[in-house]
Every structure is written in structure tokens, then in C-alpha cells.
Amino acid sequence: YQRRVHGDLTVEDKLLAKVQELTEDLQRVTAEFANYRKRVEREIGTARESGKVGVVSSMLTLADNVERARQHGDITDGSPLKAFTDKFNDILKGQGVTQFGEVGEPFDANRHSAIQDEGGDGEKVLSTVLRKGFNLGDRVLREAMVIVRGDEGSDASAAHVLCVD
């Protein structure tokens, strides 16, 4: 076996250097592709979530109308509206939508929009719910519109739940 010397490097050294260079190029391209794939998957998830938020948000008016119908006694067992309401609520629940805003619940400025404060001392609680709020998972889709009061000596008989547009 005989080595030929070209300058300071042997042919074998030059080949090893080329293999090293190509290996580094392959590792770099592999890492770039993995990062690209992760970014695309993240973007697809974000787009899917945005689409879901858009569709579910547009359904909140219908949810308000269903709640008004329930309050007015229009949803009775065996009625077509009851069957529709049950199915509609199941769809919302299946998408991860939950309602919030119950009378007596502690006021949370991140979830509730208080349009009036009836006064009173103590922690603020919801005394009247004008419009329910909705979450999609951990995300607030719409704040509940409420009237609050201090928690001192609360009278449950004075509690109201109303639905407004």
C-alpha cells in the first residue's frame, strides 16, 4: 500500500475531510427539515384552533337564544326545541366549550365584565348575570356580562339571571 502526497495532505486525508464535510451538511439539512416540520405542525395547529374559535364564537348568539328560550319556558320535555337544544349543547361540549357566570360566583375581571356595582363590602360576587360567558378549553371566548355586589349578607332570593344581546 502506497500513499501519494499532494501538498501537505494525503489522498486519504482529503477523502476523510470530504466525508466529514458531507456528513456535516447532511446533519444540518436534517436539523433544518426537522425544525421546518415542527413549525408547519405548529402553524397547522394554530390555524385549526383559529378556525374552531371562529366557528364556535359565531355559535354563541345561538347559545344565547337557546338560553332565553329555556328561561321563557319554551324548552319542554318531548318538544322538538328540547331535542335541538340537547344536541346543540352536546356539540358545544364536544368541542370543549363551557359556560360560566353563575349568581354567587366570585367576580373575576379576567372572565366577567361588570356593568354595575350594587355596592356592599367584602369580596365582589355576581348578583345578576345578564349574559353567560364561554370558554373554549382554557381560552375565554366571551366574558360574562354581570352586575356585582359585596359578599356581605347576600340574599339568594335577590339573585337574577337574565340574558341580553
Closest Cα partner for 147 from 159, 135, 137, 165?
159
Q: Tell me what pLDDT residue 130 has.
A: 94
- The band of 117, judged by pLDDT with boundaries at 50, 70 and 90, is very high
**Distance between CA 91 and CA 99 in Å, rounded?**
13
Mean pLDDT, rounded, for 59-69: 92
Q: Is the pLDDT of residue 160 over 90?
A: no
Q: Render 5-38 in DSSP notation, one character per residue.
A: EETTEEHHHHHHHHHHHHHHHHHHHHHHHHHHHH
Band of the pLDDT at 157, cuts 50, 70, 90? very low
- For the entire predicted model, the pTM comes to 0.67
Which pLDDT score, from 0 to 100, does residue 8 have? 73
Has residue 69 got a pLDDT over 50? yes
d(Cα 62, Cα 55) in Å, to the nearest integer? Answer: 12
Q: What is the mean pLDDT of the chain?
A: 87
- At residue 164 the predicted structure's pLDDT band, cuts being 50, 70 and 90, is low
Query: Taking 80 as the threshold, does the pLDDT of residue 47 lie above it?
Result: yes
Tens digits of per-residue pLDDT, 14-38?
999 999 999 999 999 999 999 999 9
Residue 9 has pLDDT above 70, yes or no: yes
pLDDT at 4: 53
The answer for residues whose C-beta is within 8 angstroms of residue 9's C-beta and 6 or more apart is 17
Q: In the predicted model, is pLDDT for residue 129 greater than 90? A: yes
* Residue 131 pLDDT greater than 60, yes or no: yes
Task: Return d(Cα 152, Cα 120) in angstroms, integer.
Answer: 7
Residue 25 has, within 13 A of its CA and on its CB side, a CA count of 6
Residue 159 has pLDDT above 50, yes or no: no
